[in-house]
Amino acid sequence: MASMSLRFAFVLFWISILSSTVLSDLVISKIDRRIDLTSQIVRVVSSLKVENRGRDTASEVLLAFPDIQAKNLAYLQSSHHEGKGKGKQSAVSLPVTLVQPEGMPSDLTFYSTSLPKGLEKGESFTLDVLAVFTHSLKPFPEEITQADVQLVVYQDSAYYISPYEVRFQTLAVRLPSGRVESYTKYPSTKLVESDIKYGPFENLPPFSYIPIAVHFESSYPFAVVQELERELEISHWGNIQVTEHYSLVHGGAPLKGGFSRIEYQSRPPIRGESSIRHFIAMLPPRAHSVYYRDEIGNISTSHLWSDSKMTYLQIEPRYPMFGGWRTSFTIGYGLPLRDLLYEADGKRFLNITFGCPINEIVIDHLIVKVVLPEGSKEISAAVPFVTKQSQEVKYSHLDIVGRPVIVLEKTNVVPEHNIHFQVYYKFNNLALLMEPFLLISGFFFLFIACIVYMHTDASISKFSASYLAKQQLDEVRATVQQVLSIINRVLAVHNKLETSLRDLSRTGDVQSCKAARKAADGSFKDLAKELKPLLGYLQSSPQASQIWPKVEELLSKEKELQEKLMGKHSAIVDGFEKKSARREVENRVASIDQKLAILRQEADELLDALDDF
């Protein structure tokens, strides 16, 4: 009876809101709403059973949110479960679009969900809607001291606000604990442990509304990232470098009065319960080269551990974060290329998660920058929700034209956005060689500079005596080097002759030995011809006066050497041809060999001495 009179009292209320006739003939026959207030993010899960009472086929369902809530709406997903009861598993996601239907109250925001197939007269359809709100829990009192617990207020409507008639509805509000300061009580309102239950309410016309407020204790750290910039730099040499710049604020009730570290550390579970001690970032598996530093490069405490599915990074800011306090830090890590980069149909694509790796965090403004390698073309991004996209160019290590960057921006990001997105681009593997080519040309330029320096003549007075003397000395040196190289070639011919003699004693082939002799004679003549102008120059040059005796000595030694060798050669060949006694030949040769050895040694010493000139 009491509930009847109450409902009657509210009739006036909804009549005033209802500004025009409701166009659709849809009716919500049953709705269960669950509001989850356990963290700083408010999640409202509604399961609606929609029934078509009209004659026309309905193809969409309108979802209404008050403007106050809609501006904090971060994520809205509508899905349909195939099958019923426990068998329902495969959820089909339905498209949701922002619409502005005519003749509806102006302070409501409408979203339209398209149904997979038209809803005929008398049919019903079950829909699951997940709406995620940020910044919806208001701290009250607005400021607290270190010893206080944090109390927050949540406001909503006990009735489901809908442009359709609602036949039967229930609402459950889940709180982090049973400690509730106050809550709006209506008949049939129950507090069971940490759940507040409203309803059931029956047969409510469109746009019914009664306010509720829940004032409860929440020690959940309200970590809010005001701006997060994630930079994903792809290197085809085998790495994806992720760098994340956080500028973070504790969005809970601001701290009133001073902060006492003694109190904080002596009774940590009680004092400063809502403060943030550390964050845990869940990085992809096989993340390596992980670092954490704050804005000016201080390295603070961090711990890293991993299993096959995740790499966990626990980071501690330099001070515990209380309400209203800020910090900013940077974390970075490398990921192996093969886990995230794929090729299909001639295009390459990066497949990586969008949001930040820290759990239950709200990001006001997220910027994701994907830095592609130099030479990438036809860049496009596929993100499953609306983002602001733009392109820019970044200059990094060993770049010539800069790397193309695709920038994705989104406001109001919640963990639900932490899903994979793709960036497609075309890349030729030859462009990989740009970086080594740059390094090689750098080094080559250095060598060329050395060569040019050694080849240029930088002296100013080209006719001074000392300059000319130096020039001549250089020339003498070069000539001596040439002479030495010719002498070395002559000595090489000597060696050849000796080898032919050895071959003769082994095989007895006189003809080949004679041929070798002939060839040697020819080359001796050629070399002597080459030597002549050089010697002429050395003899005439005044700069060569010091070196000339030595060269002369070397030449005479060489001549003697040549004569003796020829003598030896003739003796052995003669001995072979006349078949004279072996011993006789050997005796003659032995004395020549001795002299040859001495001459060779002398020639070598002279060569060494001249080489140092």
Residues making contact with other proteins (CB under 8 A): 233, 235-239, 241, 289, 334, 336-339, 341-345, 348-349, 396-398, 429, 432, 435-437, 439-444, 446-448, 450-451, 454-455, 474-475, 477-478, 481-482
Q: Of 242 and 255, which has the nearer Cβ to other proteins? A: 242
Name the H helices within 18-97. Answer: 67-70
Give the residue with the Cβ less far from other proteins, 280 or 433: 433
- Give the nearest distance from C-beta 612 to other proteins in angstroms: 11
Cβ closest to other proteins, residue 21 vs residue 429: 429
Give the SS3 label for residue 197. strand
Q: Angle at which helices 548-578 and 465-507 pack, to 10 degrees? A: 10
Nearer to other proteins, 8 or 447 (CB): 447
Q: How far is the CB of 423 from other proteins (least distance, A)?
A: 13
Of the two residues 386 and 452, which places its CB atom closer to other proteins in the complex?
452
Q: Among residues 28, 49, 2, which one has the least CA distance to residue 206?
A: 28
> Smallest gap, in angstroms, from Cβ of residue 213 to other proteins?
51
In the complex, the smallest distance separating the C-beta of residue 266 from other proteins, rounded to whole angstroms, is 42
DSSP string, 312-336: EEEE--SSPBPTT-EEEEEEEEEEE
Residue 333 in tokens: 């890590």
Nearer to other proteins, 113 or 311 (CB): 311
Beta carbon of residue 398, minimum distance to other proteins (angstroms, whole number): 5
| Cβ atoms 160, 31 nearer than 8 A | yes
Q: Which is nearer to other proteins, 219 or 482 (CB)?
A: 482
What's the rounded Cα separation, in Å, for the pair 63 and 373?
44
Minimum CB separation of residue 399 from other proteins in Å reads: 9
Quote the tokens at residue 179.
């400690």
Of 184 and 235, CB closest to other proteins: 235
SS (H, E, C) 335-390: EEHHHHEEEECCEEEEEEECCCCECCCEEEEEEEEEECCCCCEEEEEECCCCCEEE
Residue 11 or 469: the one with the smaller Cβ distance to other proteins is 469
Least distance in Å: CB of 378 to other proteins? 17
Closest CA to 426 of 368, 343, 369: 343
For residue 491, the minimal CB distance to other proteins (Å) is: 19
Q: Is 513 helix (H, G, I), strand (E, B) or coil?
A: helix
Contact, 220 vs 162, CB < 8 A? Answer: no
DSSP 264-305: HHHSTTTTTTTSB--EEEEEPTT-EEEEEEETTS----EEEE
Minimum gap (Å) between residue 338 Cβ and other proteins: 4
Residue 529 beta carbon to other proteins: minimum distance, rounded to whole angstroms: 20
At 82, give phi and psi (nearest 5°). Answer: -75, 140
Looking at beta carbons only, is 316 or 475 nearer to other proteins?
A: 475
Specify whether the CB–CB gap between 134 and 414 falls below 8 A: yes
CA distances from 236 to 261, 373, 419, 427 (A): 48, 7, 24, 10
Residue type, 381: A
